[in-house]
Each structure stands twice: as structure tokens, then as C-alpha cells.
Structure 1
Amino acid sequence: MLMRDEFNGYFAVVEGFYVTLEDVLENKGSSRFLLGRHQVEDRSVTLTCSSDANPAAKYTWYEKDGDQNYKHLSSEQHHVFSSIKSSDSGWYWCEAENDLGRQTSRLFIDVKYPPRRPSVSLSPSGLIEEGEPVTLTCSSDANPAANYTWYKEDNKHPIGVKSEYRVPSVTSEDRGHYICMSENQYGQQNSSSLFVDIFYGPKSPLVSVSPPAEILEDSSVTLTCSSDANPAANYTWYKEDKLLSSEQNFTISNIKPEHGGEYHCRVQNRIGSHHSTIQLTVCGGLPLQTMNIAKMILVALLPVLLLVFNLWMRKKKTIGFKPDSKEPKEMLEARASSDETHPAVFH
């Protein structure tokens, strides 16, 4: 890129590109600059000053140091940057002089470079509670200026495309690690991870009982209460306003029917509190599940038992009327005739 004004030469040095410039300045005399090839940062760049003079001119290179001061660089026709840096951007003067006079001309070197590692900051910097506004800021030294993209944790989709990422009212879901990427046409760079800690009161507690099956008399039961909170919540178990435990888990050993009823879990941190309830019912004697299984088996076997009983009765009846082979035939016939003539009477 080359820009010209009435008395000055301007040159932009782009890292990673080869550029040669010969700019004949439009002031009196014939001094001129030759800028040699330039490569990426940390490579060598040479400034060359040339002037038509007789006797031959002597050359001096200066760099502007501050608003009014000029820093002497060399008394040679060529000035070499053995490893050019972004800090070498600026105005440079060459003075050509002999016994008959002197001429001075200048040029500007603009070193382009990819973004440096971005710095990230969080506002406000203290304790952030749910519902408050939050601003994340990213900045990176780059030439030309960098574009910024914000990401949250391992999410590949950007959540913001400016140097500042604002959340007007944070929630617990906004808690996590954030990364800023700065980029221009010469490269890109990621920031270190920025952790945003959001403080919030306990969410609705989840209560459970272990073992999860029916509760049998004389068994052991553990009640558990859990809640998402930041900072971590404190737990308290109650029954009918009576304090039972200040632990997350509450165990009842050798449980009895009188232990049945409503149990309340209260969770609390410095932001807020919440509570939840669970109902316990203690079963005595055989387990209800065992009784149900026994009933099902009995119902299934009842038709079989009735069939067996019916067959047995029929067989018994048949055996009871079987003729006795030892009794005389005449007596059997007489008994049968007597039974037909005199029916049995039951009193």
C-alpha cells in the first residue's frame, strides 16, 4: 500500500509479503529512499537512502522519538532492521549532506501483524448474583485491528461477535468458562479461559428414599435431599417441626410404624432457601408384595384343587358301592329288592 502527500513518502510494510518501493520525493534536491524487501516479523528489512550529489553525499538516519525528539540511528546509506517488530512502525528521516548543502526526507513504516494473545476481563469483578448484568471484555494488540468472537466452554457456535459480550440478566445457566478469539487477515489467537461464577439460591430440592421399595418394619431407611445451589446449600431434616438432622442424608435404623409420616427437607445458602416434603409409610408383618404373590398363586391353583377334590369324591362314591365277592348272590339280590321296596327315610 502506497500513499503520497506533497512533501512526504508513506509506505506500509506488510508482514509476510515482499514489497519494494522507490519513492522520489517532490521537494527540492534529488534525495530519494529505497526500501528493500520485507518479510514476516523477525526477519530482516533494509532502508536505503540515495541522493544525486557532487561531491558524494553523506547519509544520516533518524527516528522520531516522542513529539519533538529525534533519535540518531546510523550514519550509513542503509539502515537495517535485523528483526523488524511492530514497535518499529513510525516515521524515519534520512539526511543527505555534502559541502554544498543538505536535504532531508522522511517515510513512514507501518508493520502489519496478527493478533497477540487476547486479554479478557469481567465486570463486575466481585460476587455476581443471579439476575445481575454482566459484561465480558476482550482486547488484543493487532494491526490491522482484530475482530472478536466469544465462545462458551466447548460450544463451537459463537455467542458474541464484538469485543464486549453483555448479558443483561445472568442465570445459573450462564455460569462457566468463556473464551475470546481475536482475528485479522494475518492470523488468529485465542484467549485463556475466563471463568464466570454466578451465585444463586437453591433450586427446588429433590428428595428420595432408599431402598425405594415398600418400607418394612425393623428395616433401615435413608432419606436423601439434593439441590443445585451456588454456593453449596446446607441441609436440614424435620418431622412435624422437630429437627432431625443437619445432614444431606438422614437414616432411620430399625424403623417402626410410628416413624411413618411427612418428612421435610430444607435447603439454604446465603442467597436464599427452599424446601420439599416426602411421605413415609411403614408396613408391618409380611411384605405386601409377598402377600400379593401368595394371593395370585392361590387364585391360580384353586380350579386345580377343586377338580382334584371332585375326582376324589367320585372315586370314593364308586368304591363305596362295589359288590363284595364273598357275600352270597342271593343275599345281595334280597338286599337290592328290599332297598327298592322300602325307600330310606331320614329323620
Structure 2
Amino acid sequence: MEGSSVTLTCNSDAQSAVNYTWYKKNQTLLNKEPQLVFSSIQSSDSGEFYCSAENELGKKTSPYININVKHRPNLPSVSVSPSEIVEGSSVTLTCSSDANPAANYTWYKENEWSPKASGQIFTITDIRAEHSGNYYCVVQDTTGHYNSTLHLIVVGGKSLLIMNIIRLTLVVLMLIPLFVISLCLRMKKTRSLKTELNEPVEMIEMRETIDNMNPVI
């Protein structure tokens, strides 16, 4: 069990002194002692181990010994797919927890005593508004049980249409100020351009007027 103390001991019959080395499969050596001690073994320590015995006459390697560290389930995580639930669609609830040995999964709806489903995956086909509410997944093994909750909100067809209309309205309201600003800038630019084009014409007209007032001698 996870958290317990575990000792692996390597022995070899030899007439001269033997040096011992402990290894984990596919990893480097762990120590150079006859014993490999785990004072508080963890699930990550699971795997295959072996030792070697060596002296001046040669080296021998032991068979593998497998360590399978059992541990209670972790707090389960729950998820729902799709995230936006529309009435009449199919919805999948998923529950997962790391446990050794494998745990049992059961789905419940809040305020209902009978289970809705067993297993990690709970699928609701043709979901309706009355399916809305809190669902929780219970993970259980010989050491105890744990649960996590998620909340489902089922959106009806009319409600979804209203939501989409509201979203479209909000987008339009956001775009109107930008359109007005853009229009004002265009009008301002057009007026400025007209003013620049009209100035030379006005100067020519003034000159012609002055010439007409002065008689030619």
C-alpha cells in the first residue's frame, strides 16, 4: 500500500566479499547496498527492480521483481461534452480518477436515491429541460469512496434562439458607434479636401474683380 515501508534484499552465496547494486528497469542504478529501502513508498515507485552481485571472480544479475503499489482513488474529475447543452441533443458526462486497483464509478442526480448509471461515462440521449440539475460521480474501492459534482443547464430551442438574437443585437450595438465614427471621419476628410480645392478658385475671382475696378490708362 502507498505510504508503507518496503525493503528489497539482495543475497548471493560467494566465498569472497560481494558488492551489491540495485537497479530499476530502464533506469540508472538506485544504490550500492544489499538492501533497497522505501520508507514511504509511492505509486510512482511501481515497476520492476533487479540487483547485481559482483566480486573479483565475476558478476551475476537477479531476475526482475515487480512492485505494484496500491493506492486509494484520487479526488475524481468530471467533465461534460458539449459545453453548451441544447434540448434534444446527446450529452456525455465523464468521470476519471487515478486508483490502484481500479475503482468502481457510479453516477447520481442530486435528491435522487437510485443511481443513474455505472461506469466512467454517462450518456444522456435526447436531453430535456427536466434533466437540468446537479450530477455527481462516486468513485469507490475497498479503501473508501469519493465524489465530484457538476451542474447541467439544458437550453431549450426557443431559449437558444432568443440567446442568439440577443448576441446578434449586442454585436450590432457594438458596431454602430464604430460605423458612426468612421462616417464622421470620412465626412471631415471630404470637407477638408473640398476646401483645399475651392481656395485657388476664390483667389482668381478676387484678382479679376480688382482688375476690373482699376481702369486701364
TM-score (norm 1): 0.46
CA distance in 1, matches of 2:25, 2:132: 47
Partner of 1:146: 18
Q: CA deviation at 1:181?
A: 2.4
**In structure 2, which of residues 101, 105, 108 is the aligned counterpart of residue 231 of structure 1?**
101
Q: Secondary structure at the match of 1:183?
A: strand
Q: 1:146 to 1:287 in 2, by over 3 A?
A: farther
Alignment-mate amino acid for residue 220 of structure 1 = S
2:131 corresponds to which residue?
A: 259
Inter-CA distance 263–295: structure 2 relative to 1 (3 Å threshold): same
Higher strand share: 1
Q: Deviations over 1:27-57 (max 9, x none)?
A: xxxxxxxxxxxxxxxxxxxxxxxxxxxxxxx
Partner of residue 188, structure 1: 59
Q: Which runs of 5+ in 2 are unaligned?
A: 184-217
Q: Residues 153 and 261 of structure 1: is their aligned pair in 2 closer, same or farther, counting only changes over 3 Å?
A: farther
Q: What SS does the aligned partner of 1:235 have?
A: strand
Shift in CA distance, 151/298, structure 1 to aligned 2, threshold 3 Å = same
Q: Structure 1, residues 8-33: CA drift from partner, whole Å, max 9, x if none?
A: xxxxxxxxxxxxxxxxxxxxxxxxxx
Cα deviation, residue 184, structure 1: 2.7
* Selected match of 2:75 from 204, 211, 227: 204
Q: Deviation of residue 143 (structure 1)? A: 4.9
User: What RMSD over aligned residues (CA atoms) do the two structures have, in Å?
Assistant: 2.7
Alignment of 1:97-116 (within 5 A): none
- What SS does the aligned partner of 1:173 have? helix
Flag the 1:281–1:144 CA change in 2: closer, same or farther, 3 A. Answer: same
Which of 302, 305, 308 is 2:176 aligned to?
A: 302
Match of residue 30, structure 2, among 136, 152, 159:
159
The residue type equivalent to 1:302 in the other structure is I
State the 1:287 CA deviation: 6.6
Indicate how the Cα distance of structure 1 residues 287 and 178 shifts in structure 2: closer, same or farther if over 3 A, else same.
farther
SS of residue matched to 1:139: coil
Aligned to 2:200: none
Alignment of 1:1-347 (within 5 A): 129-156=1-28, 158-211=29-82, 213-240=83-110, 241-242=112-113, 243-285=115-157, 286=160, 290-291=164-165, 294-299=168-173, 301-302=175-176, 304=179
For residues 292 and 143 of structure 1, do their structure 2 counterparts lie closer, same or farther at Cα, with a shift above 3 Å needed?
farther
The whole-number CA distance in structure 1 between the counterparts of 2:86 and 2:146 is: 30
Higher RCO (CA < 8 A, seq sep 6+): 2
- Alpha-carbon distance between aligned partners in 2 of 1:277 and 1:260, rounded to the nearest angstrom: 13
For 2:117 and 2:80, the matched residues in 1 are separated by 15
Secondary structure class of the residue paired with 1:144: coil
Change beyond 3 A, Cα 1:170–1:236: same
Instruction: After superposing the two structures, state which structure 1 stretch, 179-188 or 219-228, moved more.
Output: 179-188
Residue 152 to residue 292, structure 1, CA distance change in 2 (3 Å):
farther
Partner of 2:187: none
Match of 2:197 in 1: none
Q: Structure 1: state its 5+ residue gaps.
A: 1-128, 308-347
TM-score, length of structure 2 as denominator length: 0.70
Distance in structure 1 (CA, Å) of the matches to 2:90 and 2:142? 34
Read off the aligned partner of 1:228 and give its amino acid letter: D
Count the aligned residue pairs.
178
Deviation at 1:252, TM superposition (A): 0.9
Q: Secondary structure at the match of 2:10?
A: strand
Q: CA deviation at 1:207?
A: 1.0
CA distance in 2, matches of 1:292, 1:277: 30
Deviation of residue 173 (structure 1)? 2.3
Q: Give the structure with the higher percent helix.
A: 2
- Identity across matched positions, percent: 47
Give, in whole Å, the separation in 2 of the partners of 1:239 and 1:206: 16
Residues 287 and 169 of structure 1: is their aligned pair in 2 closer, same or farther, counting only changes over 3 Å? farther
Note if contact 1:216-1:287 (Cα within 8 Å) is conserved in structure 2. Answer: no
Q: Secondary structure at the match of 1:199?
A: coil
